[in-house]
Amino acid sequence: MLRCVLCRSFSFNIICNECISTYLKPNLYKRVLPNSLTVYSFYRYSDIEFLLKTKHKFIGYSIYRTLAKNSFQKFARNFNYDNKVVAIPIDDDPKYSYSHTAILAKSLKSKNIKPIYSKLRAKNSVSYSTKTLSYRLTHPRDFRVDYKLDDDVILVDDIVTSGATLSEAKNVLKKRNNSVLFALTLADARI
């Protein structure tokens, strides 16, 4: 038996069902980045900031799985599209014994979406946490892409802040003739 990380009541899960249904109801927020990439997010960053900051800890694995199941998985069940679609997580390198973006992408697996891994990795491992937009723009991730098919792509990340990372990823994939439909993130920091 565990204690829910939100309400501290006893639970069989890291976040109890009551908190999931009360505090973690996903909404679909939309933002269009300057390079015309549409980003859909399920939460306001301020509403789940505490949970997102666990991604560099072991507990983050369970929290991200819960958040993904509650948002990305529900999205995938209702997503219909005529062509083959792949979900590519941003920089899914397992730095802390797991990859939080791979967890999110995996939850999109459905009849219409196939997650693929290790296809979009940053050569520059700079951290954008707490950095300004000008810093982000002058220190690109320099993505390496190991994917070139005619599939439509959904980009997957946990947070959209300035949109620099997602924009760079879209541009790199576009140069490889991949069509990026949109991006999905757990949270938008600007909402």
Q: Which of 97, 99, 126, 95 is nearest to 115 (CA)?
A: 99
**Is the pLDDT at 70 greater than 80, yes or no?**
yes
The CATH number covering residue 59 comes to 3.40.50
Q: Is 67 left (phi over 0), alpha (psi -120 to 50) or beta?
A: alpha
Domain annotation covers residue 99? yes
Residue 113 lies in a domain: yes
Q: Is pLDDT at 108 greater than 80 in this prediction?
A: yes
Asked, for residue 4, whether it belongs to a domain, the answer is no
**For residues 12-41, average pLDDT:** 95
* 86 domain-assigned: yes
| pTM for the predicted model, two decimal places | 0.90
d(CA 89, CA 137): 20
Give the model confidence (pLDDT) of 142-174 as tens digits: 788 876 777 899 999 999 998 999 999 999 998
Assess if residue 36 is contained within a domain.
yes
183 inside domain:
yes
Structure-derived torsion over alpha carbons of residues 33, 35, 37, 40, reported in degrees to the nearest 10: -10
Could you tell me if residue 15 is inside a domain? no
Report how many domains make up the chain.
1
Domain that holds residue 46: 25-188
Q: Which residues contact 117 (CB under 8 A, 6 or more apart)?
A: 89, 92, 99, 102, 105
Q: Report yes or no on 13 lying in a domain.
A: no
Rounded Cα gap, residues 184 and 166, in angstroms: 10
